[in-house]
Structure 1
Amino acid sequence: MALYAELTVEHKDVVERFSQEHELALTLQRTFLPASLPESPGVELAVRYLPAAATAEIGGDFYEAVDTPHGLLLAVGDVVGHSIQAAVVMGQLRHALRAYAAQGHPPHVLLEHLDHLLGLHQPGWTTSVCIVLIEPGNARVHVANAGHLPPLLLSPGCPPRYLREHGPMLGIGLPHPPAVGHPVAPGSRLLMVTDGLVETRNSSLYDRLELLAATAGAGPAEPEALCTELVETFAAEHEDDIIVFAARLRPPRP
């Protein structure tokens, strides 16, 4: 009985320590994410971030929205791996992205700068990042993608469409192709996610992306409500970090 009691106490201590470490890790991770989203004429933004619940190790999922000289820039990325260091790398990349974007670099040049930064200061780490630049007037977007899931364009009266421009992940040192422009109709919505929302053990990624497109296409027009519905539909038993980032575009008021 004494041995059983001792093991019970040890188990309780381990559980409490795990819980404390997990909470500390989540607190650290949240400090690396934006405190708020910018307000841009004619653009409504909403985001949901859900940390992986099953491990004390934290991931490197991140998002960003920043006003630039050429329009509103949106980004979603995922540092490969789960650890405190992955979160640190994520924080470095996000802050660098903000700084480079404020200087007015086009999306593919931003990716090249981030790739160089990652190779110089964090060799061995790889990251996927998708960047969408919304032009002033909100009638055109430019997509540059470094190995990330493609953004989904939801245009009024049209079927959902993934913008499948693609390039190599960051950290590999390969060149990145220029961003590709797409016209967007008034009222169009953009959806950017990380793989934790759609990857499961029992379904193919293709099938899950198709389901996501169908669900989002039939979902609410308001970004906040859309994010809520997608999280409720897809994230019931998520094992990885999840980011759902939605935008609705309208012509700015005169």
Structure 2
Amino acid sequence: MASLQEAHAQRDELERLNEELTETNAGVMAMYAELTVEHKDVVERFSQEHEFALALQRTFLPTTLPQVPGAELAVRYLPAAATAEIGGDFYEAVTTRHGLLLAVGDVVGHSLQAAMVMGELRHALRAYAAQDHPPHILLQHLDHLLGLHQPGWTATVCIVLVEPGNTRLHIANAGHLPPLLLTPGTAPRYLSEHGPLLGLGLPQPPATAHPVPPGSRLLMISDGLIETRDTILDERLTLMAATAAAGPEEPDALCTELLDTFGTEPEDDIIIFTSRFSPPPHR
């Protein structure tokens, strides 16, 4: 009799535990369903915000490139992968009284605010360039602008001014990757002029002049093209120089070649800005 009562007690206990387990499972499944819905909402909201940020960022970038006799220009802009935050990369090309001004820059950081700062810098650069300032003074004005209106933000910017006639260029570089000069018959060469980041309130050194033989090409990029977590920057720069030297002469085709080689699944925004120079035709 005692054994029978013990068996009934064990059965009742098992049934009670089973009911509790069933209720617990139901609660867990309900919580999972709720979290799944919330996660889906978060993903959709992030996707919408990311698309909005990309659209806004594109409005800050040039829609056309200037037509300059003897200068062929091409550019590629590729935003980072959809899961990454928006960046502050930008480029500019504008004609001035002293020649063709080219620029590539990158606001340090990834956020919608970084894109807003980028837009402010780019529009300020155009305004200052219209006042015919030399490249290093342009950088100092941008540095002052950041310190005054966007304290705490920093940026890298490389400015190249190509003289009328396309025989000489002047480079001022505030912490950005150096431009690559590809001259017919010689090895590719990085024009490594160095100045401090913008936003630090430090003076910029004067621009350095370099000759531009006919048929020379100039390559300016943002770091997203070659910098990844598991690579060494100097090695990537060397590889890119070799790839560009062996690549197409035509600027647009060279952009495509470099993007296909280095730009798969980018972790950061990519800008590739190429130029080819020759003496303008005589009139």
- Counterpart in the other structure of 1:211: 239
Summarize the alignment of residues 13-162 of structure 1 with structure 2, pairs less than 5 Å apart: 13-55=41-83, 57-162=85-190
Contact (CA 8 Å) 1:25, 1:57: kept in 2 or not?
no
Q: Provide the secondary structure at the position in 2 that maps to 1:81.
A: coil
Amino acid at match of 2:62: P
Q: Of 161, 175, 187, which aligns to 2:203?
A: 175
Q: Provide the secondary structure at the position in 1 that maps to 2:200.
A: coil
Answer with 107-116 or 9-18: which moved more: 9-18
For 1:20 and 1:190, the matched residues in 2 are separated by 37
Distance 1:174-1:56 versus aligned 2 partners, 3 A rule: same
Contact (CA 8 Å) 2:81, 2:265: kept in 1 or not?
no
Q: CA shift at 1:56, angstroms?
A: 5.6
For 1:171 and 1:7, the matched residues in 2 are separated by 43
- Counterpart in the other structure of 1:186: 214
Amino acid at match of 1:173: G
Amino acid at match of 2:265: E
For 1:202 and 1:58, the matched residues in 2 are separated by 21
Q: Provide the secondary structure at the position in 1 that maps to 2:108.
A: strand
- Counterpart in the other structure of 2:278: 250
Specify which structure has the higher proportion of helix.
2
Deviations 1:98-118 (A, max 9, x none): 011111100011011111111
Specify which structure has the higher proportion of strand.
1
* TM-score computed with the length of structure 1 as normaliser: 0.97
Amino acid at match of 1:99: A
For 2:218 and 2:84, the matched residues in 1 are separated by 32
1:197 has 2:220 as partner: no
Q: Provide the secondary structure at the position in 1 that maps to 2:184.
A: coil
1:229 has 2:257 as partner: yes
Answer with 11-20 or 115-124: which moved more: 11-20
For 2:99 and 2:204, the matched residues in 1 are separated by 21
Identity of aligned residues (%): 78
Contact (CA 8 Å) 1:196, 1:239: kept in 2 or not?
yes
Amino acid at match of 1:226: L
Q: CA shift at 1:194, angstroms?
A: 0.6
Q: CA shift at 1:48, angstroms?
A: 0.6
Deviations 1:55-97 (A, max 9, x none): 4631110000000010000000000001111111111110010
Amino acid at match of 2:235: D
Amino acid at match of 2:217: R
Q: Provide the secondary structure at the position in 1 that maps to 2:115.
A: helix
* TM-score computed with the length of structure 2 as normaliser: 0.88
Q: Of 249, 252, 267, which aligns to 1:239?
A: 267
- Counterpart in the other structure of 1:12: 40
Number of corresponding residues: 254
**Greater gyration radius:** 2
Contact (CA 8 Å) 1:25, 1:56: kept in 2 or not?
no
Q: CA shift at 1:235, angstroms?
A: 1.0
For 1:97 and 1:67, the matched residues in 2 are separated by 12
For 1:67 and 1:236, the matched residues in 2 are separated by 33
Q: Provide the secondary structure at the position in 2 that maps to 1:5.
A: helix
Q: Provide the secondary structure at the position in 2 that maps to 1:82.
A: coil
Contact (CA 8 Å) 1:54, 1:239: kept in 2 or not?
no
